[in-house]
């Protein structure tokens, strides 16, 4: 039994250290059936993909699909939730080229207004210095739920990383829409109790590497340790011994 696809990897087009081909080659060498290139979204202040690079990325993935026909290559983004209304840093036209959208919260993103900077951006930016208020947790949770409802998000990346939410409520929204919650290859930021709470919903989980170098593509040791230790049923893992069906290819049924 094994994980068949890695759907969260980065390259030099954002915060990674290797090329798109480096990641694909690494996935092929591990025998993965699928791999996704999901560089950071456009509104990240330091690591976001530049729109001027999109056509080069699209052309490179098209070329690599011919060079490596035995693996399915997805091109997408790890988009950012940028305000408390669930705004995500993509435009409608991005749906034309994106095969997959991973989405989550990251510090150091632009936001939509001065008000949202004060009520969403800054309070979450200083997390770890100050404690999250119950009001902020509600606002953060609502932002995720609105994003899931309003965008074709396939995977919520690293839930509760750098932000505090009610992950069970997010899981319930994700289950309704067919969005997966990620067990991240670098760090699982949910507590054991939070993971156990989301297992009481119908949400499916997905295991990803969040690789920032080719050497980390296909590294699932951290999330699989949670699967083993908490006894998470493997049929709840969307890419374990099977290939996931992503929301954007199935959304017409919802």
Read off the pLDDT of residues 51-92 as tens digits, 9 standing for 90 and up.
999 999 999 999 999 999 999 999 999 999 999 999 999 999
DSSP 46-88: TTPPPGGGHHHHHHHHHHHHHH-TTSEEEEEEEEEB-STT--B
Determine the pLDDT at residue 126.
87
Determine the pLDDT at residue 249.
82
Look at the domain 5-253 and name its fold: TIM Barrel (3.20.20)
pLDDT digits 0-9 by tens, 20-48: 999 999 999 999 999 999 999 999 999 99
pLDDT bucket at 127, cuts 50 / 70 / 90: confident
Proportion of the chain above pLDDT 90, given as a percent: 91
Q: Structural domain boundaries of the chain?
A: 5-253
C-alpha 124/C-alpha 67 separation (Å) is 43
pLDDT digits 0-9 by tens, 134-193: 899 999 999 999 999 999 999 999 999 999 999 999 999 999 999 999 999 999 999 999
């Amino acid at each position: 039994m094994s994980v068949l696809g890695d759907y969260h990897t980065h390259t030099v087009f954002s915060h990674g250290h290797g090329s798109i081909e480096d990641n694909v080659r690494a996935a092929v060498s591990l025998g993965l059936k699928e791999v996704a290139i999901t560089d950071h979204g456009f509104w990240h202040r330091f690591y976001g993909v530049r729109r001027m690079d999109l056509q080069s990325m699209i052309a490179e993935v098209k070329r690599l699909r011919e060079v490596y026909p035995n693996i399915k290559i997805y091109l997408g983004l790890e988009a950012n939730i940028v305000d408390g209304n669930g705004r995500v840093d993509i435009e409608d036209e991005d749906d034309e080229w994106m095969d997959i959208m991973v989405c989550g919260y990251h510090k150091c993103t632009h936001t939509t207004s001065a008000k949202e900077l004060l009520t969403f951006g800054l309070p979450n930016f200083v997390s770890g210095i100050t404690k999250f208020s119950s009001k902020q947790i509600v606002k953060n949770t609502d932002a995720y739920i609105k994003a899931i409802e309003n965008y074709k998000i396939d995977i919520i990346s690293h839930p509760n990383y750098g932000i505090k939410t009610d992950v069970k409520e997010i899981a319930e929204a994700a289950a309704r829409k067919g969005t997966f919650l990620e067990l991240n290859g670098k760090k699982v930021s949910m507590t054991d109790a939070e993971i156990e709470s989301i297992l009481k919903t119908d949400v499916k989980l997905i295991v990803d590497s969040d690789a920032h170098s080719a050497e980390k593509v296909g590294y699932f040791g951290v999330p699989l340790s949670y699967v083993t230790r908490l006894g998470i049923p493997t049929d709840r893992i969307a890419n374990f011994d099977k290939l996931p069906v992503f929301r954007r290819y199935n959304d017409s049924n919802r």
